[in-house]
């Protein structure tokens, strides 16, 4: 399908053969010769890389993309851009950040996604930055339906794009820069600059996302993952992948098992067998932790709250007043806690409750 999309618009000689070779070798870029870097602004590129990694460590995640694009704009002048990730099968854009571009472009572009020769070239050569000027002449480009329906409307006269495959989700992360001046195509030096910059940009963005999602979380816990609200994994520890395969032997791919998706969307905990999955909302992402069940998890939410108060030294009367219960009801709840936790005194109960990892109200598999 991608080769067909590349061929139908009349690409420059040699490109179709190159794209086909990349597809045939399963996208492994073997035998690609080293490129001449004599025209690069090495100092500017190095400064940009340093600032990107600094932003990945320090900048708020919500501000990372606009700040990064403004930084790129200083060494590769452009007018607008889109930056996001997408799935190949089925073809669908998952997340999209627009820079100086109307948000209606996503809806306008969707019907022409399958015939987009530029997208096909990006997919055929992941990691390689593609300059539209190397694919097609401007005279032929302005005659395409893609230009007539999308490019002209959004003033996308020249494109410079790169696609990378995300390591955990296998989603395609893409960044395309656009120029509005039809007489000012991107140069080979700008193409190579963006190609060298893109891995650093992607890694710094990933670091900013992880820092935002894991802030305040138990980052030293070894069985964790980060997913989006639709259940697509974005980061995961090896232990978490092992946990998934242990509980759902048939699971594969980048999306969590179907039974987990609703809990992920709502950010509610999930329980299966002797394991529990905590799901914490972090903006549009979810932080997941898989933990072994303990006796404390058998307490109801009300019992857990009363047990914590009692363990912290509150009396039956104080607890009853705070929760609007009768003292005898509190006493009965505490007796149930003693039984479920297999303890015989307040000291043992406090030790069990106050050292347990919190997990209440689990949804059972």
pTM for the model stands at: 0.64
Tell me whether strands 130-131 and 233-236 are parallel, antiparallel or unpaired: unpaired
Task: Examine the pLDDT at 1 and tell me if it is beyond 60.
Answer: no
Share of the chain above pLDDT 90, in %: 46
Task: Examine the pLDDT at 19 and tell me if it is beyond 70.
Answer: no
CA 85 to each of CA 93, 109, 213, 294: distance values in angstroms, whole numbers, following the listed order: 6, 15, 18, 39
pLDDT tens column, 248-295: 888 888 899 999 999 999 999 998 767 788 899 988 899 998 887 677
Share of the chain above pLDDT 70, in %: 84
Query: In the chain, what is the straight-line distance between the N-terminal and C-terminal CA atoms, in Å?
Result: 40
Q: What is the full DSSP assignment across 175-239?
A: EEEEES-TT-PPPHHHHHHHHHHHHHHHHHHHHHHHHHHHTTS-TT-SSEEEEETTSBEEEE-HH
| List of domains in the chain | 2-29+39-213 (3.30.450.80), 224-292 (no CATH), 295-364 (1.10.10.10)
Query: pLDDT class for 36, splitting at 50, 70, 90?
Result: low
Integer Cα distance of 17 and 331 in angstroms? 79
Task: Examine the pLDDT at 194 and tell me if it is beyond 90.
Answer: yes
pLDDT tens column, 44-78: 889 999 999 888 888 888 889 999 999 999 999 99
Report the pLDDT value the prediction gives residue 359, as an integer from 0 to 100.
Answer: 39
Residues in CB range of 242: below 8 A, 6 or more apart:
none
Q: 165 pairs with which residues across the strands?
A: 172
pLDDT tens column, 146-176: 999 999 999 999 999 999 998 777 888 999 9
Higher-pLDDT residue of 77, 26:
77
| Rounded (5°) CA angle 279-280-282 | 135
Report the pLDDT value the prediction gives residue 200, as an integer from 0 to 100.
Answer: 95
Integer Cα distance of 158 and 82 in angstroms? 13
Report the pLDDT value the prediction gives residue 38, as an integer from 0 to 100.
Answer: 59
Structure token digits, residue 135: 């694919």
């Amino acid at each position: 399908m991608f080769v067909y999309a590349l061929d139908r618009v009349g690409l420059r000689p040699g490109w179709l053969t190159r794209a086909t070779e990349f597809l045939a070798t399963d996208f492994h870029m073997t035998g690609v010769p080293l490129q001449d870097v004599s025209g690069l602004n090495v100092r500017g590129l190095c400064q940009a890389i340093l600032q990107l990694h600094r932003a990945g460590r320090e900048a708020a995640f919500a501000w990372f993309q606009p700040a990064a694009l403004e930084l790129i704009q200083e060494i590769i002048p452009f007018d607008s851009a889109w930056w996001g990730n997408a799935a190949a099968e089925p073809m669908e854009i998952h997340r999209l950040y627009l820079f100086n571009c109307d948000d209606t472009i996503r809806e306008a572009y969707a019907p022409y996604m399958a015939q987009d020769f530029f997208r096909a070239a990006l997919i055929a050569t992941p990691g390689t930055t593609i300059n539209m000027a190397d694919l097609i002449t401007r005279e032929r480009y302005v005659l395409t339906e893609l230009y007539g329906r999308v490019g002209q409307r959004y003033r996308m006269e020249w494109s410079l794009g790169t696609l990378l495959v995300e390591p955990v989700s296998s989603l395609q992360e893409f960044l395309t820069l656009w120029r509005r001046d039809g007489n000012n195509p991107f140069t080979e030096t700008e193409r190579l600059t963006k190609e060298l910059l893109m891995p650093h940009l992607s890694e710094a963005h990933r670091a900013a996302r992880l820092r935002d999602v894991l802030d305040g979380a138990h980052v030293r816990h070894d069985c964790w993952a980060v997913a989006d609200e639709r259940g697509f994994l974005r980061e995961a520890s090896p232990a978490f992948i092992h946990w998934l395969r242990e509980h759902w032997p048939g699971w594969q791919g980048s999306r969590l098992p179907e039974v987990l998706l609703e809990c992920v969307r709502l950010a509610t905990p999930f329980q299966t067998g002797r394991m529990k999955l905590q799901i914490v909302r972090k903006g549009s992402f979810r932080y997941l932790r898989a933990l072994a069940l303990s006796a404390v998890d058998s307490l109801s939410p009300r019992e857990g709250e009363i047990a914590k108060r009692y363990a912290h030294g509150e009396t039956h009367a104080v607890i009853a007043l705070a929760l609007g219960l009768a003292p005898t009801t509190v006493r009965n709840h505490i007796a149930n806690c003693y039984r479920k936790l297999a303890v015989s005194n307040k000291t043992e109960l406090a030790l069990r409750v106050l050292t347990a990892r919190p997990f209440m109200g689990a949804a059972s598999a």
